[in-house]
Amino acid sequence: MKTQKLVSFLILFLPSLLGAQSFAVYFEYGRIIQADGSNGDYGGPINGFYGIVPSGTLFEFTDPLGPFPDDPGLVQLQSVSWNPLVDGASAGISYMTPNLELGALININVGEKVVILFTDAVTPAALGLGNQICVMESAPFLSTFDNRYIGHVDLQILLGIGGAETVQLIFNGFPPIPDTDGDGLDDEEETNYGTDPNDPDTDGDGLNDFDELFLYETNPLLADSDGDGIDDRTELGLNRFNLIVGSFTWGQAKVDAEANDGHLATFTSQGEWDIAMESIGAGALDSISGAWIGANDIDTEGNWTWVTGEPFTFELWALGQPDDFNNSDVAEVSGGFGASIGEWFDTGLTVTREAYIIESAVLTDPTLSDSDDDGLDDGVEIALGTDPNDADTDDDGLADGDEQTKSLTNPLLADSDNNGTADSDEDFDGDGLTTGVEVNTYGTDPRLKDTDGDQIGDGDEVNLLLTDPTLQDSDDDGTLDGLEDFDGDGLTNLDELSTHLTDPTLADTDGDFLTDGQEINQTLTNPLLEDSDENGTNDNLEDLDGDNLSNFDELNLYRTNPALADTDGDSLADDFEVSYNDSLFYVIEGALTYSQAEADANIRGGRVASFLDGSEYTDFVLQLRQVVSGNFWISLTDSVTEGSWIWGDGTALNYNRWYSGQPDGGMFESNVVILSDTASWADSNSEFVADGYIFEFVGLNPNESDTDGDGLEDAEELNTHSTDPLGWDSDQDGLSDGDEVNIHGSDPLLIDTDEDGLDDYTEVVVYASNPNSQDSDGDGFLDKFEVESGFDPTSDTSVPGAFAEIYPAVEFTFNAVLGVTYQIEKSTDLNTWTVLEAGIPGNGSSISRFYQSRTGDKQFYRAGPEE
């Protein structure tokens, strides 16, 4: 609010009767700077004191207008000692305000002078000094100042010891700033606000600039401050009353007013009445006898009500009114023909008057384009006939704006199509969500079944999938909601909802223990019926392929195809393969905890391995013959009873392969891993991440034609070679059955196929000799003899020769090729040879003979094939 400006003051100072003391007075005046930087009002005296000030008193300058709440003065907690000065003397002191933006440095000279400084509190000058506006020195002081500047006026009046005159200070105040257009804003303020100082209503909206700024808080530069198509005056209701001239009874006036989108005027306060009189114009009632208004007591005599139902809390009855003369039940405003112009009288229903006052505008907020926040600007609502102050004009649960732009219904009718269902309860797009729920709760399009275009209806997203119907990919994982498989049954949400009509949040819609995907894609049964063919047997117990395995067992236990009796095509029926009673062990590598290993083994149709006796474990270690590094889970555990170790099938441990110091009984170490480098065991916490596990498959694998992976199909092993389909090396010679049959041609059931004394593995891997021939290189010497003699069994040029050793009797030894007949001859001169023995059969090895020797004789022996 604006305050009264200080006009003048007069202070009279009397001389001191005590020469050693002096009088002092200090006043401040200021003009407040608004928070937005604009000028505020002038204030009167802010602070002042006077009196006899003893010598040595600390004098503190104060400034209640300082910017800091705890700052009592122009200079916080700074003071000067107040000592008398000799005549004509003066002293200067300077104080700096804490905030240069709101104050200035003030220089005060103390002595027999009056010093007044006007300083600019906004723009500091060089060296931190406030911009000095003017300095006045006189006694007495009588002056004015340039009103273009703002700041503080500081007056310091001191009388020295010799002061004997009366000092009179007259201050005529700040000269008034003109208000040329008389709108309540002075010209300087209009300049600051940007309004026209020569026009009280700059924007021409019928409101003066001062009222727009301080009363209505509208924009004095814009006729329509909020830009909603309705000028500020109309929104404030200052144009809502009009005088309609014509001959009307009260009832006729009421009907006519309502036909013109209004009603007979009502008044609930003096302010509203004043607005009405201003609106219809001064003197408008002078030329008529009266004008109808909306008051009546038709229903109950003496109980006056307004036609709008507003409380009847304001009245302007003329003296003695209402008097119910001749059953007067309606009210009029007296015109110029009566003695009480502008006062109310009760009148009869059949009486005619020359006018009525109509109230037609709706009060809205001139600072808000959409007063009721319903999505429609006030101007649009006025044009449509909706209530700009009621977000839901027809009270159907839908905002007027939503009805116009989303549901496309009539915001004036709760049931636009008159079908007995409110607009908000309709489901125009058939998505299972009412219009009210779509618009008010989920923000979906009530006219579009799939708002986000992810191929899933809004209702299904809300009620079933619990996804966001306004986002195609609710979880932002790169897969559209319709293509997700929330229940993990192998069918997309879209397929389940649109094609199969199954529950996309339930893997087994009909509860027959087969997932919807299994029924659709594998068993070809109805995922909506437990017994699709109604034969009395649930779908999970049916045997689609006739292999004596139920659909459930094939899908969930053995992972076989329930539509194929021989899933792996190895000519062995699935039921035969899964019932073949033996175990097969594999190393499954991967970073897994024990529970993860169990889950993986289950998926593969087996289990984490149990080695029920030492020989079985030893066989596994021997047959493994592959290099693995790390720790691998087995099913041994003492989780039931600490220290009592059992296998996963409940069999108690009856042997051990514990590593040194194991098991050590560490906290929560109730499972076991194999240490690959030693094939020994160590206990471990089940949450330990091992390098894999030993997988055990019991029975042939109906999904693999070669269960043991040895290169021979199971049927071939059983029916052709009689080998073990669960053991990759049936004869335990170190060569897989498949390699023996398909590569080496050796017998997978014999360790030494050619019976030459060298096992097949040694011949193939160590010497590269032929496991099917005792003499691989055909040089006449057995492979084993050549190996033991240090010769190459695969080279026919690497053969042993004959040799002799001299004893008292001669031992003659030669190597004899198998199948050749040899003779031994003797000579004393190497010229003449005598046959000692003939017809000696070669044995593929060495042949020795002993002959008596005589001292001094020369004896030569030779052996060779008979001629």
* 443-457, 579-593, 599-613 — most confident range: 443-457
pLDDT at position 807 is: 52
3-state secondary structure of 24: strand
pLDDT at position 867 is: 76
Q: Tell me: the pLDDT tens digits for 265-324? A: 999 888 788 888 888 876 888 889 899 999 999 999 999 999 999 999 999 999 999 998
Q: How far apart are CA 799 and CA 815, in angstroms?
A: 9
Burial class (CB in 10 A: 0-12, 13-18, 19+), 329: buried
Amino acid, single-letter form, for residue 237: G
Share of the chain above pLDDT 70, in %: 75
Q: What is the b/e burial string over 269-299, where b = at least 16 CB atoms within 10 angstroms of the residue's CB?
A: eeebbebbeebbeeebbeebbbbbbbbbbee
Of 578, 612, 570, 569, whose CA–CA distance to 699 is shortest? 578
pLDDT value at 260 more than 80 = yes
Section 170-193 average pLDDT: 72
Q: How far apart are CA 381 and CA 226, in angstroms?
A: 15
pLDDT at position 211 is: 84
Amino acid, single-letter form, for residue 506: L
- Give the chain's mean pLDDT: 75
Q: How far apart are CA 851 and CA 726, in angstroms?
A: 60
pLDDT at position 296 is: 95
Section 436-462 average pLDDT: 90
pLDDT value at 547 more than 60 = yes
Left, alpha or beta for 405 (phi > 0: left; psi -120 to 50: alpha)?
alpha
Of 165, 26, 168, 169, whose CA–CA distance to 108 is shortest? 26
pLDDT value at 675 more than 90 = no
Section 57-75 average pLDDT: 36
| Residue given tokens 């649930």 in the structure block | 538
Q: Are 131 and 103 in contact (CB under 8 A)?
A: no
pLDDT value at 121 more than 60 = no
Q: Give 846's Cβ-side CA count (13 Å radius).
A: 17
Distances (CA, A) of 422 to 12, 390, 391, 414, 721: 84, 18, 17, 6, 82
| Residue given tokens 């009909």 in the structure block | 510
Which stretch of 194-203, 527-536, 596-605 has the lowest confidence by average pLDDT?
A: 596-605
Question: Quick one: tokens of 101?
Answer: 């933006």
- Binning pLDDT at 50, 70 and 90, where does residue 853 land? low
pLDDT at position 563 is: 87
pLDDT at position 114 is: 33
Q: How far apart are CA 169 and CA 45, in angstroms?
A: 14
pLDDT value at 501 more than 80 = yes
The pair phi, psi for residue 621, each rounded to 5°, is -65, -40
Residues sharing a CB contact under 8 Å with residue 418, sequence separation 6 or more, in sequence order: none
Distances (CA, A) of 147 to 134, 144, 196, 313, 665: 12, 9, 20, 50, 96
pLDDT at position 124 is: 32
Section 112-134 average pLDDT: 31
Rounded (5°) CA angle 528-533-534: 90
pLDDT value at 80 more than 80 = no
pLDDT at position 673 is: 81
Between strands 90-95 and 106-111, the pairing is: antiparallel
pLDDT at position 796 is: 82
Rounded (5°) CA angle 819-823-825: 155
Burial class (CB in 10 A: 0-12, 13-18, 19+), 801: exposed
Question: Quick one: tokens of 211?
Answer: 């009222």
* 373-382, 572-581, 695-704, 763-772 — most confident range: 763-772
Q: Are 647 and 756 in contact (CB under 8 A)?
A: no
pLDDT at position 597 is: 93
Identify the residue with better confidence: 321 or 53. Answer: 321
Which stretch of 109-123, 181-195, 781-795, 814-828 has the lowest confidence by average pLDDT?
A: 109-123
Q: How far apart are CA 357 and CA 256, in angstroms?
A: 11
- Binning pLDDT at 50, 70 and 90, where does residue 776 land? confident
Section 763-776 average pLDDT: 88
Work out whether the CA dihedral 535, 541, 543, 548 comes out positive or negative.
Answer: negative
Task: State pTM to two decimals.
Answer: 0.43
pLDDT at position 593 is: 93
3-state secondary structure of 696: strand
- Binning pLDDT at 50, 70 and 90, where does residue 240 land? confident
pLDDT at position 468 is: 92
Q: Are 192 and 213 in contact (CB under 8 A)?
A: no
| Residue given tokens 């593929």 in the structure block | 844
Q: How far apart are CA 479 and CA 336, in angstroms?
A: 81
Q: Tell me: the pLDDT tens digits for 402-443? A: 889 888 999 989 998 999 999 999 999 898 999 999 999 999
Q: What is the b/e burial string over 336-372, where b = at least 16 CB atoms within 10 angstroms of the residue's CB?
A: eebebbebbbbbeeebebbbbbbbbbbebbbebbbbb
Q: Tell me: the pLDDT tens digits for 339-382? A: 678 899 999 999 999 999 998 866 777 778 888 888 988 788 87
Share of the chain above pLDDT 90, in %: 19
Q: How far apart are CA 74 and CA 62, in angstroms?
A: 5
Q: What is the DSSP letter of 126?
A: G
pLDDT at position 113 is: 31
Which stretch of 126-140, 506-520, 541-555, 748-762 has the lowest confidence by average pLDDT?
A: 126-140
Q: Are 804 and 855 in contact (CB under 8 A)?
A: no
The pair phi, psi for residue 293, each rounded to 5°, is -125, 175
31-40 contact pairs (CB < 8 A, 24+): 31/150, 31/151, 32/65, 33/102, 33/121, 33/122, 33/150, 38/189, 38/192, 38/193, 39/150, 39/188, 39/189, 39/192
- Binning pLDDT at 50, 70 and 90, where does residue 66 land? very low
Section 537-546 average pLDDT: 87
Give the H/E segment covering residue 700.
none
Q: What is the b/e burial string over 127-136, where b = at least 16 CB atoms within 10 angstroms of the residue's CB?
A: eebbbebeeb
- Binning pLDDT at 50, 70 and 90, where does residue 249 land? very high
Section 46-51 average pLDDT: 32
Section 722-731 average pLDDT: 79
pLDDT at position 56 is: 38
Left, alpha or beta for 684 (phi > 0: left; psi -120 to 50: alpha)?
beta
Q: Which residue blocks in 143-285 are alpha helix, DSSP H?
A: 187-193, 209-211, 232-235, 250-259, 270-280
3-class SS letters over 633-683? EEEEECCCCCCCCECCCCCECCCCCECCCCCCCCCCCCEEEEECCCCEEEE
Q: Are 804 and 816 in contact (CB under 8 A)?
A: no
